Structure 1
Amino acid sequence: VVYLRQESDARPLPPGWRSYVSPEGLRYYVNSCSKETTWRHPSSSRKFLFVLALCSSLCLSGFFLCPPQAHGSPNLLMSDRLSLPICSIQMKLSSSLPLSLPQINCVTFPLPGEGPEQQLLKPNEWSYCDYFWTDKKDPQGTASVAGFEVLLQKQLKGKQMQKEMAEFIHERIKIEEEYAKNLSKLSLSPLAAQEEGTLGEAWTQLKKSLHDEAEVHLKFSNKLHSEVEKPLLTFRGDNFKKDLKKYDHHIADLRKQLASRYAGVEKARKALADRQKDLEVKTQQLEIKLSNKTEEDIKKARRKSTQAGDDLMRCVDLYNQTQSKWFEEMVTTSMELEKLEVDRIEWIQQHLRQYTTLRHETDMFNQSTVEPVDQLLQNVDPAKDRELWVKENKTGEVRPVDMDI
């Protein structure tokens, strides 16, 4: 026996819902669009209030054969309705029951255009928790991919992109190191070492600037390794994939439970349909008085139908509990994955900005190595160079004269 309890009506009702009080003082709720009824406040009920909607539908379809005064009196317990005397028989199979909602891989969804309009959990944020509820076909169309699996693949792709960025920076480091090595080697070249004067000074400074520039690029490569490449490599190490697997297994287990509960509902619904049909046959036999035992058979059939109805309600309730648990875990976990993605993007942004900062510093230091060369080149004076060379290499200032006879 399911005892229905009274609930407070302090909370606001969703659109389309109205509340009423039975003669016994119990409050119940009616959806003016779908005619759905429930004892629980609509905002606290699970997905689509299968259980009490089923009670109402069964009563209207003739399974709960109530006298006229019973309709509209929701205070009747399930056991009371099932024990009421039969007044007429018009059985319908359970295909007409409100369980035939659209479903994708055992997840039930509302009928298009029916029920209150769903509001996004995080409006205007394009949050993961609002857009990955439905499964979809994979690119080959051979299998179904859960929405949560799409979110996991996004995380794995992000991890791979981060790894490839680190590899890119590593290649840049190798180039910088090789470049620094070659600059340092070139700075030691003896070529044009015999140049003299102000031009010789500028040439010597130019070669020295190569050595200084090599040092700048070597420091740049070291900082790239410590401040960009290494953080990209170490951000979310091996444990990250293990954590993703935990999320995956947890949600997958809930989906398996959901599929099992859904199968239980289908089995219970078929059993109820069979019991309804058996009750209909025996009732027809009673009407045409084929056997004296038919009345007793009807009582047994009614008890079996009652049990089948109770089993179906129990299975539906278990399904709804499991789907609610999955729903809650999907929201919580998808928002955790969303935060992980935000953290990843911000982390990479931070270290790529560090890359550009180091690059600017390198350019600045390289400029400082070239400035002395510029200054010396501006001071190059051919006349002075000639003067210095002459003073150092002159052989005599007296000029030759003509010979006298």
Structure 2
Amino acid sequence: MTRGLTFSEAFWDSDIIGTYGWETLCRRMKEGRKVCTEVAHYLKDRAKAEADYSKALQNLARKADGKEETGVLGESWRNLKAQTERIASVHEEASSLFSSYMEEVTKFNEEQTRVKKQTEENVKKYIQSKKNEFQKTMSLKKTYEDKCKDFNNAEETLKTAKSSVTTKKNELEKAESKVNKAKDNRENADMAYRSSVDNLESTRSTWERETIQGCNQFEDLEVKRIEYLRDLLWRITNVDSTVCLNHDNCSESVRNILENCDVATDIQDFIENNKSGSKKPDPVLYENYYNGKALPPSRPPAGLPLALPKQAPARPPVKPPSPTRPPPRPNFRL
């Protein structure tokens, strides 16, 4: 792999008080913290979702009794209930893993945030010192330039006074005094300006050294963050793969039993375990009240309506017996 640029090589500004490069790195550190926070929120919500799903599956399995079905189909149905409970347990374990990952990434993010804040505040302090020293130096430079101009003007005035025949002695002395004073002011301004430049360079060197350390620290944090999140996301997907694999294994367990489910076999299994007997009840016979003989019931052919009983022929009216004779005995014929 070809070595690329590092943070300490790629985020500088040509302007001595420019901060765009450093602000870019600080923004990247802030974005990295936000990503870690988003991952933590994802894991928190994912753990809750897995826990809720596990609870729903457990309730679903409890409602499925499965006692009424018999044979291999009944075994399959009861195994499906058991496998549902197993899947619920798998999702409960996944919820626990996601919760532990959430706590882990939160601690990692907090530690990174602490180091980022410390590094950023340290470099920011030197940035401000460099800026203040630079502004002071620019102010002293202007003062020095103004004093140089004042000295040049005083010298020009003195030269003019010397060349003029009308210049009085006291005016000449006064002009010479102004030159001397302007010269002293120029030298003092020059010394202050030089001293400020030296201080600025010392401050700039310190800032540069601290900034390089800060860049290296930020790059080290970013490397650790990317490596950590890459590993964490890999572990998250491994949990998903494990859950899916367990789902499939549970389904395969039910399918293996269903492959042995034969309709005729299940019917015979029910018959053998629940049969009550093979002897049908005898027909109920007609029994005459007077002679005690039992006759089988006469049944019309299937599909035909029952025939109405024939009416007996009309008989002539019978005279009532005389009071002195007993009534005749009825003559019943079978």
Q: Please report the TM-score for the alignment, with normalisation by the length of structure 2.
A: 0.71
- Asked if 1 retains the 8 angstrom alpha-carbon contact of 2:133 and 2:196, the reply is no
Amino acid at match of 1:380: C
Indicate which of 101, 104, 114 corresponds to 1:239.
114
> 1:260 and 1:189 mapped to 2: Cα distance?
82
Change (3 A) 1:282 1:150: farther
Q: Which residue of 2 aligns with 1:342?
A: 223
**363, 378, 383: which is aligned to 2:264?**
383
After superposition, the CA RMSD in angstroms is 3.1
Superposition deviation, residue 168 in structure 1: 1.0
The count of residues paired between Structure 1 and Structure 2 equals 274
Alignment partner, residue 195 of structure 1 = 69
For the Cα contact (< 8 Å) 2:87–2:250, is it kept in 1? yes
**Amino acid paired to 2:13:** W
* Contact 1:155/1:341 (8 A) holds in 2: yes
Distance across 2 between alignment mates of 1:233 and 1:365: 29
Alpha-carbon distance, 1:177 to partner: 0.2
Give the aligned partner of residue 131 of structure 1: 11
Task: Report the identity percentage.
Answer: 23
The structure with the largest alpha-carbon Rg is 2
Q: Which runs of 5+ in 1 are unaligned?
A: 1-122, 136-143
Counterpart contact for 1:184–1:214, Cα < 8 Å:
yes
By relative contact order (CA 8 Å, sep 6+), the higher-ranking structure is: 2
* 1:264 equivalent in structure 2: 140
CA distance in 2: counterparts of 1:156 and 1:311, whole angstroms:
41
CA distance in 1, matches of 2:129, 2:182: 38
Query: Which piece of structure 1 moves more, 384-393 or 337-346?
Result: 337-346
Deviations 1:108-137 (A, max 9, x none): xxxxxxxxxxxxxxx8426354234268xx
In the alignment, is the contact (CA less than 8 A) between 2:91 and 2:243 conserved in 1? yes
Describe the shift of the 1:188–1:301 C-alpha distance in structure 2 as closer, same or farther (beyond 3 A).
closer
Equivalent in the alignment of 2:288: none
Query: Does 2:158 match 1:278?
Result: no
Aligned-partner Cα distance in 1 for 2:186–2:159? 13
Paired residue secondary structure (1:235): helix
Report how far residue 178 of structure 1 moved.
0.3
Give, as a single letter, the amino acid of the residue that structure 2 aligns with 1:217.
Answer: H
The DSSP-based 3-state class of the residue aligned with 2:63 is coil
Shift of 1:187: 0.8
Q: Aligned in 2, Cα 1:350/1:126: closer, same or farther, shift over 3 Å?
A: same
Amino acid at match of 1:259: Q
Asked whether 1:230 is paired with 2:103, we answer: yes
> Taking structure 1 as the reference length, what is the TM-score of the superposition?
0.59
Cα-to-partner distance string for 1:35-79 (whole Å, 9 max, x where unaligned):
xxxxxxxxxxxxxxxxxxxxxxxxxxxxxxxxxxxxxxxxxxxxx
Give, as a single letter, the amino acid of the residue that structure 2 aligns with 1:382. V
Distance in 2 (alpha carbons) for counterparts of 1:302 and 1:245? 44
From 187, 211, 214, give the equivalent of 1:330: 211
Residue equivalent to 2:92: 218
Are residues 158 and 204 of structure 1, via their aligned partners in 2, closer, same or farther at CA, if it must alter by over 3 Å?
A: same
Preserved CA contact (<8 Å) 2:155 2:179: yes
Q: 1:169 to 1:134 in 2, by over 3 A?
A: farther
Give deviations 1:167-201, integer Å, cap 9, x for gaps: 11110000000000111111111455311110000
After TM superposition, list the pairs within 5 Å mapping 1:43-58 onto structure 2: none
1:172 to 38, 46, 60: 46
Amino acid of the structure 1 residue aligned with 2:210:
E
Q: What is the CA–CA distance in structure 2 between the aligned matches of 1:267 and 1:300, rounded to whole Å?
A: 15
Matches within 5 A, 1:2-401: 124-125=4-5, 127=7, 129-133=9-13, 146-190=20-64, 192-226=66-100, 228-237=101-110, 239-240=114-115, 242-243=117-118, 244-288=120-164, 290=167, 291=169, 292-293=172-173, 294-295=175-176, 297-397=178-278
By percentage of residues, which structure has more helix?
2
Deviations 1:243-286 (A, max 9, x none): 14344334333333333333333333333333333333333333
Contact kept? 2:126, 2:203, Cα under 8 Å: no
Residue 194 of structure 1 aligns to a residue whose secondary structure is coil
Bigger mean CA deviation after superposition, 353-362 or 276-285? 276-285
Which consecutive unaligned segments of at least 5 residues does structure 2 have? 286-294, 297-334
One-letter amino acid of the structure 2 residue matched with residue 353 of structure 1: W
Residue 325 of structure 1 aligns with an amino acid whose one-letter code is T
Residue 12 (structure 1) aligns with: none
CA drift of 1:146 comes to 4.7
Query: Which amino acid counterpart does residue 343 of structure 1 have in structure 2?
Result: K
Q: Report what 2:332 is aligned to.
A: none
Counterpart of 1:324 in structure 2: which amino acid?
S
Q: Tell me, in whole angstroms, the C-alpha distance in 2 between the residues paired with 1:253 and 1:296.
A: 40
Alignment CA distance shift 1:309-1:247 (3 Å): closer
